[in-house]
Amino acid sequence: MGKLKALLLTQGMHGMISQVEGMAKALNTEYIHKIVRLSFPWNLVPPKFTPISEIILKDKTYLNEGETPDLIISCGRKSVIPSILLKKKNSKIFTIHIQDPKVGFKNFDAIIAPEHDNLSGDNVYSSKGAIHYITESEIKKAETYLTNKIKNQKLVSLILGGPNKYYSFNKDQLIEIFNEIKSKFISNGYKVIVIPSIRTPKTIIELATKELSASGYVVNSVDKQAYLSALALADNVIVTCDSTSMISEAAISGKPIFVAHMKPKKNNYRFKKFYRLFNEMGITRDLGDQIESWTYNKFNEAERIATIINSKLKN
């Protein structure tokens, strides 16, 4: 019997792609990824008020062409209705939704949500942090990618996110983070590798270059191999607080992780619950805490949950 075939549905954001691909890899599937685009006004309407109809979709090709998938793995609100539509066309498809679908949970065979989302149900599986597509073998393979760019006995990697509805990433906050890195790391002999994400504006990359390039190397574009290499080379990893996905990804490295906190624009209680969990698990500390080395079990929730899902698939 060959590998199961999976159709991945997301809105195209890095965090979502990382989660669906991480689950597809952990389930050992062959997969293709489709970006879901909804027509106006349905792109603005919550799933629970959206009709289960092809009329909402800009692109319907993946509903009616190609081989029927064994699995659909979806993430994000825009992917909810397409997954339900495909299940209605063929009830044998096993559907997995990642994050809270904001519709009845029974529309899916399995729902995977981070513990800090507080979801519960017979088909809900909670993860500690976000599942993701980074693997230990990929990190090891990419280790030498940046070695010709930076050489030093002590390295710290800074993983930058970007503005969202909780964090503004204003210049003053970023300067404060950069100064903390200079004070705690660079002044103690570290060189810094700066890695932007798809959400990092050009202005922030330029500011990081101005403030930190003299003491390390700033990657000026999205580069997955540079990201993996930075995780492999670093003695310590710093991740901005806006992304539970990136913090979860960094945790597979087994390296000490410092979270660079910023003042939130609104109540960030779900983030706080996540920070507290990872701190209690011995994975993270706050940027500004004393620099020291610590260890924890390398963390891959995708593999753990895939074991549970595979048992359901066999049944």
pLDDT, one tens digit per residue, over 37-57 is: 999 999 999 999 999 999 999
Does one domain contain both 156 and 275? yes
Q: Does residue 295 belong to any structural domain of this protein?
A: no
- Cα–Cα dist 279/186, whole Å: 24
In the chain, the number of structural domains is 2
- Cα–Cα dist 239/159, whole Å: 5
Q: Where are the beta strands (DSSP E) in 47-119?
A: 71-75, 94-98, 110-114
Does residue 315 surpass a pLDDT of 80? no
Percent of the chain at pLDDT > 70 equals 99
Residue 308: pLDDT band (50, 70, 90) is very high
- By CB atoms closer than 10 A (0-12, 13-18, 19+), residue 303 is middle
Does one domain contain both 213 and 117? no
Does one domain contain both 168 and 72? no
Q: Does residue 161 belong to any structural domain of this protein?
A: yes
Residue appearing with tokens 């942090």: 129
Read off the pLDDT of residues 151-160 as tens digits, 9 standing for 90 and up: 889 999 999 9
Q: Which residues constitute the domain of residue 123?
A: 5-132+303-314
Does residue 14 surpass a pLDDT of 90? no
Residue 276: pLDDT band (50, 70, 90) is very high
| Cα angle value 247/248/251 (rounded, 5°) | 90
Paired strand residues for 240: 260
Question: What pLDDT score does 165 carry?
Answer: 93
Read off the pLDDT of residues 244-255 as tens digits, 9 standing for 90 and up: 999 999 999 999
Closest-CA residue to 257 (of 277, 243, 237, 227): 237
Does residue 63 surpass a pLDDT of 90? no
Which whole number is the average pLDDT over 15-34? Answer: 94
Does one domain contain both 128 and 142? no
Closest-CA residue to 132 (of 217, 60, 197): 197
Question: What pLDDT score does 292 carry?
Answer: 87
Residue 286: pLDDT band (50, 70, 90) is very high
Question: What pLDDT score does 60 carry?
Answer: 82
Residue 67: pLDDT band (50, 70, 90) is confident
For strands 5-10 and 30-35, give the pairing: parallel
Question: What pLDDT score does 150 carry?
Answer: 93
Residue 7: CB atoms within 10 A of its CB come to 27
Does one domain contain both 13 and 116? yes
Residue appearing with tokens 């390390």: 216
Q: What is the 3-state secondary structure (H, E, C) of 241-277?
A: CCCHHHHHHHHHHCCCEEEECCCCCCCCHHHHHHHHH
Q: Does residue 52 belong to any structural domain of this protein?
A: yes
For strands 94-98 and 216-218, give the pairing: unpaired
Question: What pLDDT score does 61 carry?
Answer: 79
Question: What pLDDT score does 1 carry?
Answer: 55
CATH number at residue 230: 3.40.50.2000
- Cα–Cα dist 271/279, whole Å: 12
Does one domain contain both 105 and 229? no
Q: Does residue 194 belong to any structural domain of this protein?
A: yes
Does one domain contain both 105 and 149? no
Residue 300: CB atoms within 10 A of its CB come to 19
Does one domain contain both 114 and 218? no
| Cα angle value 129/133/135 (rounded, 5°) | 100
Read off the pLDDT of residues 219-250 as tens digits, 9 standing for 90 and up: 999 999 999 999 999 999 999 999 999 999 99
- Cα–Cα dist 313/55, whole Å: 31
Question: What pLDDT score does 297 carry?
Answer: 85
pTM, full prediction: 0.88
Helix, strand, coil abundance in the chain, percent, nearest 5: 40, 20, 40
CATH number at residue 97: 3.40.50
- Cα–Cα dist 216/191, whole Å: 5
Read off the pLDDT of residues 180-209 as tens digits, 9 standing for 90 and up: 999 999 999 999 999 999 999 999 999 999
Closest-CA residue to 212 (of 244, 182, 249): 182
Question: What pLDDT score does 239 carry?
Answer: 98
Does residue 214 surpass a pLDDT of 70? yes
| Average pLDDT along the chain | 93
Residue appearing with tokens 């970006």: 35
Q: Does residue 236 belong to any structural domain of this protein?
A: yes
Residue 143: pLDDT band (50, 70, 90) is very high
Which whole number is the average pLDDT over 62-87? Answer: 90
Q: In which element (H, E) is residue 70 found?
A: none
Q: Does residue 293 belong to any structural domain of this protein?
A: no
Phi, psi for residue 33 in degrees, rounded to 5: -120, 130
